[in-house]
């Protein structure tokens, strides 16, 4: 794919004018930074999600968090007035359990390191959770829980060293808490990896299994992944072969987008979930630059230039197209960022 093609991976021109959600048969939604921030909903998220339900659009809520069961997550969302069933919440624990079930016989013992939610997911897939290597596990499934101990990691290390499949829910190195950032499951995985030299099978984003499990649950053939992160949500969609919508309500900032390599570039861009209800932002190549809804961006002498007015998200879309078409060199984005902040 050349620079021009990569710069605009948006919807086909024949679909111009249709709301973005009409171009897909299901919407897969990351939770943190997209639907909620801490214990509060992201602005505009609740009315948009209610609208998706009223329109009969299939949804799945996707999270790398393997510590909480889907029923608890769904109950949290229902407190905001969202009609969310337990089956619509798909966690990395469930994706990891399916991977284990695909590799083990029915009722095979599986060493589970992590939360009760992970043990429940493994049992629900017809396997028998065990706690010790001496139980002869056919696989190891590892996820995060704040109670995971050195002894549990040692049991995992013994089993993994024996050569059984080692499946981990996710490899996020950190996890957010009310007191700040703490070591995440990726840090615990690294302990076992350092002791054994083994490479785990990863269920959660950006690996494809979690998103494919969510699409299967939603009965989707052409889902749209909505996230706030380039390295997990967008890259995960790319690896699974799905289109993505990046919303600017979480981790990603404009400068991150300008520098994104091809596998981290979203198909669509939106300020928040309201982008699902509007036509996608589409860029046009004009002269030496890119045009999007009243904004024009180009790279000149190594500087990313942007001019125009109106929706600054359209300006960002044009600026991304110009920056990406200039790759692999990254133009200086200072002047473009100043226009977007004006």
Q: Give the residue numbers annotated as catalytic, written as ranges.
A: 30, 32
Angle of helix 92-103 relative to helix 116-124, nearest 10 degrees, comes to: 40
Phi first, then psi: give them for residue 216, nearest 5 degrees: -60, -45
Q: Angle 307-313-317 (CA atoms, 0-180°, nearest 5)?
A: 70
User: For residue 338, how many other CB atoms are within 10 A of its CB?
Assistant: 10
Alpha carbon 107 to its chain centroid, in Å, reads: 31
Q: Whose structure tokens read 């230039």?
A: 305
Q: Which of 160, 170, 166 is nearest to 103 (CA)?
A: 166
Q: Which of 143, 145, 149, 138 is nearest to 169 (CA)?
A: 143
Give the span between the Cα atoms of 281 and 270, in whole angstroms.
Answer: 8
Q: Which of 308, 305, 311 is nearest to 326 (CA)?
A: 305
- At 75, list the tokens: 């109950």
Cα–Cα distances in angstroms (integers) from residue 298 to residues 3, 133, 199, 223, 295, in the given order: 13, 60, 43, 32, 10
């Amino acid at each position: 794919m050349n620079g021009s093609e990569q710069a605009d991976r948006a919807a086909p021109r024949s679909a111009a004018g249709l709301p973005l959600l009409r171009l897909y048969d299901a919407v897969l939604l990351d939770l943190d930074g997209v639907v909620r921030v801490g214990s509060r909903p992201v602005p505009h998220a609740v009315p948009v999600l209610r609208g998706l339900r009223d329109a009969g659009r299939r949804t799945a809520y996707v999270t790398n968090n393997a510590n909480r069961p889907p029923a608890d997550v769904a109950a949290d969302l229902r407190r905001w007035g969202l009609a969310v069933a337990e089956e619509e919440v798909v966690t990395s624990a469930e994706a990891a359990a399916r991977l284990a079930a695909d590799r083990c016989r029915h009722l095979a013992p599986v060493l589970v390191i992590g939360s009760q939610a992970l043990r429940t997911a493994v049992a629900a897939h017809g396997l028998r959770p065990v706690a010790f290597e001496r139980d002869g596990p056919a696989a190891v499934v590892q996820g995060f829980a704040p109670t995971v101990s050195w002894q549990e990691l040692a049991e995992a290390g013994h089993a993994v060293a024996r050569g059984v499949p080692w499946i981990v829910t996710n490899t996020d190195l950190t996890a957010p808490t009310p007191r700040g950032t703490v070591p995440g499951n990726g840090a615990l995985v690294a302990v076992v990896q350092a002791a054994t030299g083994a490479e785990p099978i990863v269920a959660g984003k950006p690996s494809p299994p979690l998103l494919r499990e969510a699409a299967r649950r939603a009965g989707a053939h052409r889902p749209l992944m909505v996230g706030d992160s380039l390295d997990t949500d967008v890259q995960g969609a790319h690896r699974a072969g799905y289109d993505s919508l990046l919303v600017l309500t979480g981790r990603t900032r404009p400068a991150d987008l300008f520098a994104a390599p091809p596998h981290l570039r979203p198909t669509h861009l939106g300020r928040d979930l309201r982008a699902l209800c509007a036509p996608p932002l589409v860029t046009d190549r004009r002269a030496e630059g890119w045009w999007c809804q009243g904004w024009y961006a180009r790279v000149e002498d190594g500087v990313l230039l942007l001019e125009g007015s109106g929706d600054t998200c359209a300006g960002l879309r044009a600026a991304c197209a110009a920056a990406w078409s200039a790759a692999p060199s990254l133009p200086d984005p200072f002047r473009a960022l100043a226009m977007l902040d004006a």
